Structure 1
Amino acid sequence: MGIYEILKSAHSGWRYLVIILLLVAFINALMGYLGRKPYTEGNRKLNVFTLISAHIQLVLGLLLYFMRDWYKGDMSVAVQRYWKMEHIAMMLVAIILITVGNAKSKRMDSALMKHRKIFVYFGLGLLLITGAIFGMIHADPTRHLFAM
């Protein structure tokens, strides 16, 4: 097993951690916002762990992208276009949203606004990631929702 296969397995497996943490942080922020709960150290740590896991996933993905030369793909072929442009663009924007949401929440004074920023930005990131997953399934019929 070469380095590419190891990185691909790591990237494929790590995505579950990212999605679970993102979902938990999103739901936690929604409950905190709607329930007008205080913003605790546990909330902050969950958001930071979510951010870190997303950034690790990004680094793994970028390594795979450039190792496999996806940037040289033929844009007229749906699968190659998806991996060359759509996947990386959607994931980059999602991780930027997660990063911006975490940074903005730190600057807020009220717990309600901290929860709201996380809810909005992490929710948008989660929406983009979900869209990218369904785009992958559409572009590459050999893949399915929980495939490695």
Structure 2
Amino acid sequence: MFDTFILFVHSWVRWIILILAIITIFMGLTGMSGNKTFGKAQNAMSAAFLGSMHLQLLTGLILYLFISPVGYQAFQSDANVMKEASLRYWAVEHITVMIIAIAVAQIGRVKIKKATEEKAKYKNMLIFNLIALILVLSRIPWDQAGRMFRGL
């Protein structure tokens, strides 16, 4: 039951992250092109994007370390991880790139909060969230349709 719940949350939070990333990137783009104030809505969206990424990391680590057979195989395979493409993808590439994406988003959030000019806040929102989105998109298993909408 718990395993299914964590897998369901991990599968669906992905879509929340993608939606929030697109919204924050759009906000950053429109904010840079005008004289808009970086207000509560922009701040809330930026925080929600990062918070959803942290939730995704937490559920992903629970899956990787305690639930997923891929995690078990990665720890027991005696260096065969790098030789098997599927195992390498899940045990190394997916988790590494996603952690980097979260770090990029976190750095962007800090830069947004520290920026004193409105355009700088929007620019940081645009650049860092765009980079994070590109990284996330590069490691979502698009070829595995069964993973896209778990629970339906």
Which TM-score applies when normalising by structure 2?
A: 0.86
What is residue 65 of structure 2 aligned with on the other side? Answer: 66
The CA deviation at 1:146 is 3.5
* Selected match of 1:81 from 73, 83, 88: 88
**Separation in structure 1 between the aligned mates of residue 58 and residue 50 of structure 2, nearest angstrom:** 13
Greater relative CO (CA pairs within 8 A, separation 6+): 2
Partners of 1:93 and 1:35 in 2: how far apart?
31
Distance of 2:149 and 2:82 partners within structure 1: 24
After superposing on structure 2, the runs of 4+ consecutive aligned residues of structure 1 that deviate more than 4 Å are none
Q: Which residue number in structure 2 is paired with residue 32 of structure 1?
A: 31
What secondary structure sits across from 1:15 in the alignment? helix
CA shift at 1:35, angstroms?
2.2
Name the amino acid aligned to 1:87: H
The offset of 1:10, in angstroms, is 1.0
Matched, 1:91 2:98: yes
Q: How much is the aligned-residue C-alpha RMSD, in angstroms?
A: 1.6
Alignment of 1:1-148 (within 5 A): 2-67=1-66, 68=68, 70=71, 71-72=74-75, 74-133=81-140, 136-137=141-142, 143-144=144-145, 146-148=148-150
C-alpha distance in 1, partners of 2:49/2:149?
22
Count, aligned residues: 141
Query: Following the alignment from structure 2 to structure 1, what is the Cα–Cα distance between the partners of residues 149 and 65?
Result: 22
Q: CA deviation at 1:98?
A: 0.6
Three-state SS of the structure 2 residue aligned to 1:38 is: coil
- Alignment-mate amino acid for residue 48 of structure 1: A
